[in-house]
Structure 1
Amino acid sequence: MNILLPVDGSPLSMEAVHHAIRLVADGLKANFVLANVQEPSSLYEMVVVHDPEALRRVSAEAGAHALSQADALLAQADIEHDMEVAIGQPAHTLIDIIERYECDAVIMGAHGMGESGAAFGAVAQELLRHSPVPVMIVRPQQRPESDAAADSAAQEQPDTNP
């Protein structure tokens, strides 16, 4: 079974990687495809840089950096995986990767770097609508109410340091 793990380096995308590792530890037999999609260069970037190869190199380096933590976690867990950094519109490019690697499923975070107040980020919503394979959304872990209440109380305490 091949499973796509889209990773952008955000904490929620890393939670999806941790979830995938737990599934393997529980007996799932799977290979993973770590993928990062970089947005295409803007017209401004193309005008300022003048070197398409330099722009591609910067995108590849940014993508490799975004994948590095997930790569290390999967390697440490001795889980087979491929990695791909692609350039394009994220949801459409991820669907291309699903088809190219013949993935059977996707495991991803509810939000990426562009986190909003919506239940799911734009890329997650697009994949839910258009993916040819099942998509598992890993939601953020809920903190116990006692932790949230303690944080709230700490924020309300006046600063007594001179």
Structure 2
Amino acid sequence: MFNIMIAVDGSPNSLQAVQHVVQLVQQGLRAHVVVAHVQKEASFLELATQDSELIANASVEAGMDLVAPALSLLQAAGISHEVEIRLGDIYATLLDIADEKACGLIVLGATGESMLGSILIGSVSREVARHSKVPTTIVKMPEVLDVDEVDGDLSQADTTM
């Protein structure tokens, strides 16, 4: 069976990526999904002042809460899946998960950042796509039409059926 990794961070963008994969499976793609979430590791100060095992457990619990909506979508669609929650450098750990689970495709939600923000901050989706050994799909959020962008007067719209 074809393994697909979906990177999930709890954002609407990552849920859009899950919905994209659900559509692919509903259209006939036979796949097993690996839902991947990576939490940043604790800082040196956190590790020095608190129990490292307690911090790691809290991070895993937080990760499970963030992936819960994605799991609900996959369960409702009857799609075979598993969850991988890890601590570490986000993009490198995602690539490790994809490699370990023999994923043939990685799917991520677009960050929606501006070009300047993406350049200054760095984009996980861009880095994963850049360094991945397998095809990577970056799913964009659908555009929302702003009322100010609509040509003409909405009151004159034809509403007959």
Same fold (TM > 0.5): yes
Q: TM-score, normalised by structure 1?
A: 0.84
Structure 2, gaps ≥5 residues long:
151-161
Counterpart CA distance in 2 for 1:117 and 1:43 is 31
Query: One-letter code of the match for 1:45?
Result: E
The equivalent residue for 1:67 is 67
State the superposition RMSD in angstroms.
1.7
Q: How does 1:138-157 map to 2 (within 5 A)?
A: 138-146=139-147, 149=149
Do residues 134 (structure 1) and 131 (structure 2) align?
no
Are 1:116 and 2:113 counterparts?
Answer: yes
Query: 2:85 corresponds to which letter in structure 1?
Result: V
Return the offset for 1:35. Answer: 0.5
CA distance in 2, matches of 1:131, 1:59: 25
Aligned to 1:34: 35
Is it true that 1:94 corresponds to 2:94 in the alignment? yes
The SS at the match of 2:97 is helix
- 2:23 partner amino acid: R
**1:76 counterpart residue number:** 76
Distance, in Å, in 2 between the alignment partners of 1:61 and 1:145 is 38
Q: Does 1:56 align with 2:53?
A: no
Q: 1:16 offset after TM fit, Å?
A: 0.4
The alpha-carbon deviation at position 117 of structure 1 amounts to 1.6
Counterpart in the other structure of 1:154 = none
Letter of the aligned partner of 2:139 in structure 1?
Answer: V
Partner of 1:8: 9
CA deviation profile, 1:76-135 (whole Å, cap 9, x unmatched):
110000101011101110111011100000111011xxx632396611111111001000
- Aligned equivalents of 2:139 and 2:145: distance in 1? 18
Q: How many equivalent residue pairs?
A: 145
**Any idea what SS the aligned residue of 1:60 has?**
helix
Q: Compute the displacement of 1:40 (Å).
A: 0.6
**TM-score (ref. length: structure 2):** 0.84
Aligned-partner residue type, residue 95 of structure 2 = I
Identical columns (%): 37
Whole-angstrom distance in 1 between the partners of 2:99 and 2:133: 8
Paired with 2:20 and 2:113, the residues of 1 have a C-alpha distance of 22
